[in-house]
Amino acid sequence: MNVRLVVAAAGMGLRLGLEQPKALVLCGGKPLLVSTLCRFEALGLLSRAVITVPPGTEPMFESVLRNAFPGNDFVFVAGGRERQESVERALNLLDSTVEIVVIHDAARPFVSPQSIEASIEAAREHGAATVAIPSADTILMGGLDDMLVDTPDRSRLWACQTPQTFRVEVVRQAHRHARAQGFAATDDATLVRRMGAAVKLVRGTPLNFKITAPDDLALAEAVIAKGLA
């Protein structure tokens, strides 16, 4: 089946204390996006990969990736106000030959090739899949006053990661359904499940964490320095 990669890279690094695209923040001497794309290169998923970027930064991203991956033909699309809108714009650029789409966060540079491949196989079989890890912590549900409301059963809780991988028409329909209902979510698998379709959970790894805050960036630097990923 024809598989295409979409990378969500339209966020700015404001929570990192930086006024630049988060995907271009240096980590281990490389932009985050470059490190992330290297994980997909060995699987042959860089050709025509669609990358959402902050509006107006397309030339900057094109220059960085041309130097890092000479000869690759990336497609750039200006992101929307939220991730959901950005991903929908990217999905609209996929041609009719694409059957499976792999959606990944640019700020998760340590995803394992095994997790990527497993998500693709699961999407082929079930229509939708997300990489995730069983929760190692007890999760507390709090109220608006920061008082404990409930403690869900940890044995059924998973921490969501990416990639999230889908048959293209399944995820497109989920986005249309969410837009029609005015519903927003921070990930695409939730949109698919809310529509009533099945989503397979694919086990990931703790190293596939998302770099959001300065502590995350420091942890990522330590992972690289110690050769753990």
CATH number at residue 66: 3.90.550.10
Distance CA 153, CA 132 (A): 17
How many domains, the chain? 1
Residue 69's Cβ-side half-sphere holds a number of Cα atoms within 13 Å equal to: 24
Per-residue pLDDT of the chain (229 residues; tens, 9 = 90+): 799 999 999 999 889 998 899 999 999 999 999 999 999 999 999 999 999 999 999 999 999 999 999 999 999 999 999 999 999 999 999 999 999 999 999 999 999 999 999 999 999 999 999 999 999 999 999 999 999 999 999 999 999 999 999 999 999 999 999 999 999 999 999 999 999 999 999 999 999 999 999 999 999 999 999 999 8
Whether the CB-CB separation of 87 and 188 falls below 8 Å is answered with yes
Distances (CA, A) of 35 to 4, 76, 112, 158, 220: 18, 18, 12, 25, 11
Please give the residue range of the domain that contains residue 112: 3-225
Contact criterion met (CB below 8 Å) for 29 and 225: no
Q: Distance (Å, rounded) from C-alpha 43 to C-alpha 98?
A: 16
